[in-house]
Structure formats: C-alpha cells, structure tokens
Amino acid sequence: MYKKWLSVLAACQLFHGMEQQDLYNMLMCLKPKIEKFEKNDFIKFAGDEFEGLGIMLSGSAAITKENSIGDRVIITVVKQGDMFGEMAAFSGHRKWPATVIAQEPSYVIFLSSEKILGECEKLCKSHRLLIMNMLKVVSNKALLLSKKLDYLSIKSIRGRISNLLLDHYNKIGTLSFMMSLNRNEMADYLNVSRPALSRELCKLRDEGILDFYKSSVVIKDIEALKLMAE
C-alpha cells in the first residue's frame, strides 16, 4: 500500500535523508491513511477537526480561504510531494485554518500530529530524523514568511525592488543574475501592480542603477541600489 508511493515521499522534505527501507518501516509504524479525491472534492474544509498534516501523493490541490465577503480565494496550489497543514499541525489549534480543494483526481496521505511526536517504542532513528525534519520545515516556513514580511513592510516600490535584488545578489554573489520570476510574478510577490513595477524598474535603469532584459538583471551601481533600499 505504501510501497507504491515511496519514491514520492522520499523526495518530500519531511523525509529528507531517509533510506527508502527506513521510510517504509516508519510508515508501517505511523500507519498514515491514504485517501483518494476527485476533482473539486473538498479535501478539508476550514473548521474541520484537524487530525494531521497532508502530503500530496499525486494530483494537485488549491489551498483556499474565504474572505470577509465570502469569496473563495486561492492562496496557493500544492502539487505532488508538497505538504499542507504543517503550520496548524503543532500550533495547538485543533481546526483546519483553510479549505483544501482537489483540482484533479488526487491521492493524499495524512500523518497524525500525535503519531509524529508519538511514543514509537522502537524509537527508530528515522523517527528522530522525522521530528528534526518537521522542525526544519516549520522553521523554514517561518523564515520565509518573515522574509516576505520584510518586503511588504517597505512602503515604496523602489525600496522593495532594491531589497529583493540585493538579497538575490547576496545569495548569488554576482552582480548579474536571472530572476526566477517574470514581471507579473514579481509584482505579485512584492504586492504591487505590474505597470507600477515596470515603471519603477525602468526609472532605475534610466538612472543607470540597473540593466535588465526579461528576467536577467545586472546591477550596475550597487552603492546607489543600497541607498534606495530604504
């Protein structure tokens, strides 16, 4: 039953560093349940009792929230190997904070929070690794959110762009690099409108601070860019 999905699970951050055999043994110990969903099925409904986090074995699903006027908004889409509910799993809240809807026929595996922490008698070394990975996943999620919050706390588009580019530069180390985002995605990430982003990028280019073509960027005056970054 689990054999079929071993390779998908092995690629999941949560099981990073485990041998497939150890992973299999652990699954036999955790006994997570696997469920199948059809397109548009509600995998979880906001407010449902939370028993454990989910991992997409196949297919894809939309994590959605209802805003105050009742429209359903897609927050993100999870695909094969992606996890959902990992923040709620250990937060002490016992309810699903969002609604998850299958976008196509999908298989999902659910790991109970209790069992992840649980009193596995054998306390297999994989189990310890599982908990470490879990902590790592949640910590990285928090860092990611914190990073995004940094950007959104800056009020000017110029400041957001500068910080984004400088962060990239610091990560990559070269003044010339490719962004993995196109204009629309970048505007979305920085939470600004696409034309406004475009306008500002061109201003930076006209001032001789940047050069760019599509997704490739060259920082021409890094000191000036640092000044722009708030």
Partner DNA sequence: CAAAATCGGTAACCAAAGTTACAAAAGTGA
Partner DNA sequence: TCACTTTTGTAACTTTGGTTACCGATTTTG
Binding site for a copy of itself (CB under 8 A): 67-69, 87-93, 97, 117, 119, 123, 128, 131-132, 134-136, 138-143, 145-146, 148-149, 152-153, 155, 162-163, 166, 191, 225-227, 229-230
Nearer of residues 21 and 140 to a copy of itself, judged by Cβ = 140
* Cα–Cα distance measured from residue 182 to residue 204, given in angstroms and rounded to the nearest whole number: 17
Query: Of all helices (H) and strands (E), which one includes residue 18?
Result: none
Kindly state the tokens that stand for 179: 């962004």
Closest to 78 measured CA to CA, from 101, 97, 94: 101
The amino acid at residue 181 is: L
199 binds DNA (CB under 7 A): yes
If the CB atoms of residues 105 and 195 are measured against a copy of itself, the closer one turns out to be 195
Q: Whole-angstrom Cα distance, residue 32 to residue 204?
A: 53
For residue 187, the one-letter residue type is A
Nearer to DNA, 142 or 178 (CB): 178
Instruction: Using CB under 7 A, pick the residue from 202, 218, 222, 227 that binds DNA.
Output: 202
| Residue number, 12 or 57, with CB nearest to a copy of itself | 12
The reply to whether 140 sits near DNA by the rule CB under 7 A is no
Q: How many residues can be counted in the chain? A: 230
